[in-house]
Amino acid sequence: MSGLLDQIIQACLLGGLYAIFALGLAISVGVLKFINVAHGDLIVVMSFLMLTLTETLGLPAPVAFALLIPIGAGIGWLLQFGLFQRASGQNELQIILITFGLSVIIQNSLLGVYGADTRKVTAGGIELSSIHLFGNINIGVLPLIIFITACLLIAGLEQLLYRTSLGTKIRAISDAPEAAKLVGLKVAGLMTVAMALVGITEAVSGGLMSIWTNFDPSSGGSRLLIAFEVVVLAGLGSFWGVLLGGVIIALAQTFGGMIDSAYQVLGGHIVFLILFLARPQGLFPKT
């Protein structure tokens, strides 16, 4: 019984990482109104930047992680200003194709610079530290930090987008961009701010992922798929729903792995399909 409880706890903590994966995509789909196919690859870029900052430059992991956040915001801002904004007036298929091309460029660039080897960032042993709860139940310090980070990010985004003037403006240009222009809102500038927020979530998820698990230049596709499933389960506009969606996918993978290791990833996909068919609008869509 304690073994099952331990598996559930570990899965819930893993759901925190999945939620962070999905937060940026939730903003892209819910606010910027496009599916960024390169989202997972941008997360992997942040993981490799974390690797460069710690191993090549020799920075401590906390310092490297702190530097990664403004870098992520800057990359998001530049992508929106220099690329996505130019395609925003085109049809939805075109911008999807553009982000697909960006994904291919990123993967091949990472392969050329870093090679195909699997990498992982060492953070001074924090990834091995654990806290004893009771009996045979222990929780890792790093997974706990990641889950708390996910909650703080979600709370911050909820506060920013639904409780501030800036958030009201961003949601206004998302709901009715032409009307927003008529009342004097700077749509292009606000879109770059929203994409900078996406970049921050990608930096946080990439930095934390690089410490918790292995990654390589081709890891972006699996991260994108997890993020997409979590966002669809949550429903558009629900950030706390994203956390629940991440936990559900992680639990499904855990129970699938308990049946057979080959069913670990498949379990998450099956549960996603079942819940999607039962509630296609998501578990907690914003009205």
22: nearest Cα among 204, 267, 257: 204
DSSP assignment, residue 263?
A: G
- Confidence (pLDDT) at 257: 84
Cα Rg of the chain, angstroms: 19
> What mean pLDDT is predicted for residues 94-120?
92
Residue 287, pLDDT > 60, answer: no
How many Cα neighbours within 13 Å face the side chain of 70? Answer: 4
- Confidence (pLDDT) at 123: 80
Q: Identify residue 24 by its one-letter amino acid code.
A: G
> What mean pLDDT is predicted for residues 239-256?
91
pTM of the model: 0.92
User: Phi and psi at residue 282, in whole multiples of 5°?
Assistant: 95, 165
- Among residues of the chain, what percentage have pLDDT more than 90? 52
Model confidence at 281, in pLDDT bands (50, 70, 90)? confident
Residue 177, pLDDT > 80, answer: no
> What mean pLDDT is predicted for residues 191-209?
94
- Confidence (pLDDT) at 109: 95
Residues 6 or more apart whose CB falls under 8 angstroms from that of 68 comprise: 46, 49, 50, 53, 203, 204, 206, 207
Buried-state track 56-88, b at ≥16 Cβ within 10 A, e below 16: eeebebeebbebbbebbbebbbebbbebbbebb
Contact present, 242 and 234 (Cβ < 8 Å): yes
Residues 6 or more apart whose CB falls under 8 angstroms from that of 101 comprise: none
Token couple for 28: 């892209």
Q: What is the pLDDT of residues 40-68, one digit of tens each?
A: 999 999 999 999 999 989 899 999 999 99
Residue 189, pLDDT > 60, answer: yes
> What mean pLDDT is predicted for residues 196-200?
95
> What mean pLDDT is predicted for residues 272-283?
87
Contact present, 68 and 207 (Cβ < 8 Å): yes
Measure Cα distances from 127 to 121, 122, 180 in Å.
10, 8, 46
